[in-house]
């Protein structure tokens, strides 16, 4: 490991991409990389730009939930995408991000993560990565997507707040060794770029197939929490736009766009 902090120079040293991560905004501390990326993108920032921080003071999850982003321990970053895709495909980029992280973690760290719908990556049932994909539409078309990725890398148990200790883990906790965050980051970005150009030509089937193979809840009875209520049923499949298909007790199949699997 060259040094403990992530620098623009080190990222450039290891990055083997054409577009993604070629422009970098690196911070010690920021509110939220997604928030900053949204602002840049609104002002026309190019596709592939990377925004990364050692610490986020207002890291966010979905529905204004908090994302715990300790200094120097994780990877907290966002990428700007400007895909030429139908707007109903926008949700699939979150799967693309998840699969890319899983591929890089398997290759570089030697662990095969599992997916939890819609956007969590887990090891032995504990979350180490969350993805926040924010889509901006203009005139019914995708203007840009901010792909926000948070990964617990070198945390020890004591680094997590009490409420997360039983539910969260880090790659280092799972392997017993420290991981070079810069190298892992560049491998993830490489995978994202590779998958991104692949899906533009060939569609998302390869991504959702990979995702489904690594989702232990698929085909099982699940409960979805949505709009203050629980809906139960069988997790039948994902549809072609990444919505969850839930077969409820009365035999209907319900399409779930957003919610939490409990």
DSSP 64-122: G-B----TTTEEEEEEEE---S-GGGTTHHHHHHHHHHHHHHHHHT----EEETTTEEE
Least distance to ligand BT5, CB of residue 203, Å:
25
Give the nearer residue to ligand BT5 in terms of CB position, either 18 or 227.
227
Name the residue with the smallest CB distance to ligand BT5: 130
Is omega for the bond preceding 118 within 30 degrees of 0, making it cis?
Answer: yes
3-state secondary structure of 152: strand
Contact residues for ligand BT5, defined by CB under 6 A: 32-34, 56, 59-62, 65-69, 76-78, 119-120, 127, 130-132, 148-150, 152, 164, 168
Least distance to ligand BT5, CB of residue 173, Å:
11
Give the nearer residue to ligand BT5 in terms of CB position, either 61 or 203.
61
By CB atoms closer than 10 A (0-12, 13-18, 19+), residue 79 is buried
Maximal C-alpha separation, the chain: 58
Give the nearer residue to ligand BT5 in terms of CB position, either 68 or 187.
68
Least distance to ligand BT5, CB of residue 201, Å:
28
Give the nearer residue to ligand BT5 in terms of CB position, either 47 or 203.
47
Give the nearer residue to ligand BT5 in terms of CB position, either 51 or 199.
51
Least distance to ligand BT5, CB of residue 96, Å:
15
φ/ψ of 142, rounded to 5, equals -70, 120
Least distance to ligand BT5, CB of residue 136, Å:
15
CB atoms within 10 A of CB 183: 17
């Amino acid at each position: 490991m060259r040094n403990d902090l992530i620098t623009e120079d080190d990222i450039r040293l290891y990055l083997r991409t054409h577009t993604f991560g070629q422009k970098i905004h690196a911070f010690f501390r920021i509110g939220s990389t997604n928030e900053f990326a949204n602002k840049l993108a609104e002002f026309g920032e190019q596709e592939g730009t990377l925004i990364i921080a050692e610490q986020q003071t207002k890291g966010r999850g979905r529905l204004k939930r908090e994302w715990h982003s300790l200094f120097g321990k994780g990877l907290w970053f966002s990428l700007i995408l400007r895909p030429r895709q139908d707007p109903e495909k926008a949700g699939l980029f979150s799967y693309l991000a998840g699969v890319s992280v899983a591929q890089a973690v398997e290759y570089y760290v030697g662990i095969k993560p599992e997916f939890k719908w819609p956007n969590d990556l887990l090891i032995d049932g504990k979350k180490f990565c969350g993805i926040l994909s924010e889509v901006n539409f203009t005139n019914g078309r995708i203007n840009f997507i901010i792909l926000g990725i948070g990964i617990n890398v070198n945390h020890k148990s004591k680094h997590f707040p009490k409420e997360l200790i039983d539910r969260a883990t880090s790659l280092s906790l799972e392997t017993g060794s420290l991981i070079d965050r810069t190298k892992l980051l560049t491998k993830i970005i490489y995978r994202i770029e590779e998958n991104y150009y692949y899906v533009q030509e060939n569609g998302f089937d390869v991504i959702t197939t990979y995702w489904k193979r690594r989702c232990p809840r698929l085909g099982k009875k699940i409960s979805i929490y949505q709009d203050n209520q629980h809906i139960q049923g069988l997790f039948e499949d994902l549809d072609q736009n990444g919505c969850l298909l839930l077969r409820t007790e009365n035999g209907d199949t319900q399409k779930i766009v957003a919610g939490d699997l409990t």
